[in-house]
Amino acid sequence: MTDALLEVNGLRTVFDTRAGTVCAVDGVDATVRRGECLGVVGESGSGKSVTFASVMGLVRPPGRIEAGRILFEGRDLRALSPRQMRAIRGRDIAMTMQDALTALNPALTVGEQMAEMMEAHDESLPASRGARRRAIAERSAEMLGLVGIPSAGERLRQYPHEFSGGMRQRIMIAIALASRPKLLIADEPTTALDVTIQAQVLELITDIRAELGMSVVLITHDLGVVAEHCDRVMVMYAGQVVETGPTADVIGAPRHPYTKGLLASIPRLALRGQRIRPIEGQVPELIDLPPQCRFYSRCPERGPECLRPVEMHDAGEGREARCVRVVPEMVS
């Protein structure tokens, strides 16, 4: 309890569309502890990105947060004014986006964007102008160096389009880190990147986490990435958390049929010649869902007891799963 940096309780985020109200995030509980890396896994439409966009206060109409509490260091972020929220965003919590090219301002140099970030959030900067500018330039170069960009001094004067995709992703991380946040939310930081570059970026995040002692939320669809970089994992499906626990345990012995299916779906050299067993069917549309287990229609283990709303059940050793089969006495 005491070591929780971020605590999300009963978060419900909906989008009003003409077809009806889409419940993108439905009753999500999540905890990020100090210094840990939490992996958030799910397919498109699982609500993994929307959950953390909600935490950042970045949900815009037609979307809205309908219910829930978001506690950051004990303060309820939903109760804050937009101005207070802006101050937290960037300074205490930073977020990097999947698409670095569109997330960076094409009209400003990288150095200008980093300076902007620090000016806005860093009170420790010296008051006098000259000293302030020097401090910012120094810190910016240091940050670019930290993310592995050589000759940082010159690179600061370049524009985003002059960098390659991997470089831009690193720059976005550098900007996010410029204010030394306590929590970094990285939304699919490597999806758009090639494997060799992906490995560089992920290791960078892991190294910096150790160095700055910050917490990281790594949103991804790649269980391999989670297995190698995250302490704990949270699997999401159709707007709900279906399984949480220490990464090695969850991946080694998944309790929820969806997690099992996901793991069985990954093709591997070791599985050559064997049939992979894909999860049948597709993710349900998030409108007017029946009050039953959301994985019901695709679940190979389904039974009549799954036709009512399913809670998260304690599966021991810090694990939880949203499946009645975790609790033997519930299965008739």
Partner 1 sequence: MTGSAPLLEVDKLVKEYRGGRRLADRLTGRPETVVRAVTGVSLSIARGEIVGLIGESGCGKSTLGRSILRLHEPTSGRVTFDGTDVTALAAPAMKAMRRRMQIIFQDPYASLNPRRTVGEIVGLPLRLHGLARSPAEVRDLVAAMIEKVGLKSAHLDRYPHQFSGGQRQRIGIARALVSHPEFIVCDEPVSALDVSIQAQIIQLLTDLKSEMGLTYLFISHDISVIGYLSDRVAVMYLGELVEFGPVEDVLARPRHPYTQSLMSAVPEVDRPGHRHRVRLEGDLPSPLAPPPGCRFHTRCPFATDICRREAPRTETVGPGHTAACHRLSENLSLLDEEQA
Partner 2 sequence: MSATEEIIAAGPAEPARETPFRRNMRAFAANPLALGSAVVVGLFILMAIFAPLVAPHDPADTDLLRRLQPPAWLPGGDWAHPLGCDALGRDILSRIIYGARVSIFIGAAVVLVATTIGILAGLAAGYLRGWVDVAISRFVDILLGFPYLIFAIGLMAMMGPGLGNIILALVYKEWVIPCRVVRGETLAARELEYVEAARAIGASRGYIMLREILPNILSPVIVVSTIRMAHVIILEASLSFLGLGVQPPTASWGAMVADGRAFILQAWWVSTFPGVAILLLVLAINVASQGLRDAFDPRFHE
Query: Interaction with partner 2 in 172-211: which residues (CB under 8 A)?
Result: none
Q: How near is the Cβ of 251 to partner 2 at its closest, in Å? A: 25
Instruction: Answer yes or no whether residue 282 interacts with partner 2 by CB under 8 A.
Output: yes
Q: How near is the Cβ of 263 to partner 2 at its closest, in Å? A: 19
Q: How near is the Cβ of 257 to partner 2 at its closest, in Å? A: 12
* Site track 20-59 with partner 1 (rule: CB under 8 A), x = hit: -----------------------xx---------------
Q: For residue 76, count other CB atoms closer than 10 A to its CB.
A: 11
Instruction: Answer yes or no whether residue 284 interacts with partner 2 by CB under 8 A.
Output: yes
Q: For residue 287, count other CB atoms closer than 10 A to its CB.
A: 12
Q: How far apart are CA 307 and CA 94, in angstroms?
A: 40
Query: Interaction with partner 2 in 62-91: which residues (CB under 8 A)?
Result: 62
Cβ contacts of 93 within 8 Å, gap of 6 or more? 6, 55, 56, 72, 181, 182, 183, 184, 185
Instruction: Answer yes or no whether residue 260 interacts with partner 2 by CB under 8 A.
Output: no
Quick one: which segment of 74-82, 86-94, 140-148, 284-292 binds partner 2 (CB under 8 A)? 284-292
Residue 224 contact, options partner 2, partner 1, none, Cβ 5-8 Å cut-off depending on partner type: partner 1
Q: How near is the Cβ of 244 to partner 2 at its closest, in Å? A: 26
* Site track 290-329 with partner 1 (rule: CB under 8 A), x = hit: ----------------------------------------
Q: Which of 281, 290, 303, 318 binds partner 2 (CB under 8 A)?
A: 281
Instruction: Answer yes or no whether residue 290 interacts with partner 2 by CB under 8 A.
Output: no
Q: How far apart are CA 144 and CA 147, in angstroms?
A: 5
Query: Interaction with partner 1 in 129-168: which residues (CB under 8 A)?
Result: 164, 166-167
Q: Which of 119, 280, 305, 311 binds partner 2 (CB under 8 A)?
A: 280
Q: How near is the Cβ of 298 to partner 2 at its closest, in Å? A: 6
Q: What are phi and psi of 123, to 5 degrees?
A: -80, -15
Quick one: which segment of 43-51, 174-182, 230-238, 279-287 binds partner 2 (CB under 8 A)? 279-287
Query: Interaction with partner 2 in 292-321: which residues (CB under 8 A)?
Result: 297-298
Instruction: Answer yes or no whether residue 196 interacts with partner 1 by CB under 8 A.
Output: yes
* Identity of the residue, 304 or 328, whose beta carbon is nearer to partner 2 in the bound complex: 304
Instruction: Answer yes or no whether residue 285 interacts with partner 2 by CB under 8 A.
Output: yes
Q: Which residues pair with 313 in a beta bridge?
A: 321
Instruction: Answer yes or no whether residue 97 interacts with partner 1 by CB under 8 A.
Output: no
The footprint of partner 2 (CB under 8 A) covers 19, 62, 280-282, 284-285, 287, 297-298
